[in-house]
């Protein structure tokens, strides 16, 4: 964890830069970096088919033009939802975490907040551990969650 912190405060962009971008999307995260964010906070959850997607809300209708609970829907449907539907003539899907991580520059720190619906649900944590190992970002990532079992699993 010493690699994550130094003696200076970090400027985190929570869900990215939201002025003209939909939250937790690749464009909002990259825009936040462009204006000076040194770290990103990204909310994630698992779809029915075990994909890890970037979303703050469990329900699609809160931030997209679709309806449904992300945990009960496959990504092939979710990726067609438009997070930018409130912005005229713009379209942006809910991204998968793996795709976002591939686009984030190496010097940017990342706080991945794992959101779960059920207390005993650690399946998303398992997938995220694999993603972190496979993308070689462990030195610049921090995991957070309101679910203590998720944190215990990650720490263990």
pLDDT of amino acid 150: 93
- pLDDT of 1 over the 60 cut: no
Residues 13-71: tens digit of each pLDDT: 888 888 888 888 999 999 999 999 999 999 999 999 999 999 999 999 999 999 999 99
CATH 3.40.1010.20 fits 12-155, yes or no: no
Closest CA relative to residue 50, chosen from 123, 115, 103: 123
Over residues 133-149, mean pLDDT: 92
- Could you give the C-alpha distances from 63 to 110, 144, 153, in angstroms and in order? 22, 22, 29
The catalytically annotated residue of 14, 51, 109, 115 is: 14
Would you call 56 a catalytic residue per the annotation?
Answer: yes
Task: Tell me the pTM.
Answer: 0.90
Backbone torsions φ then ψ of 11, nearest 5 degrees: -90, 105
pLDDT of amino acid 92: 92
pLDDT of amino acid 13: 87
**Tokens for 9?**
């405060």
The catalytically annotated residue of 4, 12, 56, 123 is: 56
User: What's the pLDDT band for 3 if we cut at 50, 70, 90?
Assistant: low
Beta bridge partners of 45: 53
Beta bridge partners of 52: 46
Structural domain boundaries in the chain: 12-155
pLDDT of amino acid 4: 65
Residues 105-130: tens digit of each pLDDT: 999 999 999 999 887 888 899 999 99
């Amino acid at each position: 964890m010493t690699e994550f912190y130094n003696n200076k405060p970090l400027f985190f962009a929570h869900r990215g830069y939201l002025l003209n971008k939909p939250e937790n999307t690749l464009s909002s995260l990259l825009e936040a970096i462009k204006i000076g964010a040194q770290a990103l906070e990204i909310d994630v959850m698992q779809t029915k088919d075990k994909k890890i997607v970037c979303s703050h809300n469990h329900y699609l209708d809160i931030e997209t033009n679709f309806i449904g609970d992300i945990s009960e829907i496959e990504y092939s449907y979710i990726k067609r939802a438009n997070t930018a539907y409130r912005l005229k003539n713009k379209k942006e899907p809910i991204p998968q975490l793996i795709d976002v991580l591939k686009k984030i520059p190496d010097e940017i720190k990342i706080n991945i907040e794992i959101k779960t619906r059920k207390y005993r649900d650690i399946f998303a944590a398992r997938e995220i551990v694999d993603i972190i190992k496979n993308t070689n970002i462990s030195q610049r990532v921090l995991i957070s969650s309101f679910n203590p079992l998720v944190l215990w699993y990650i720490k263990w």
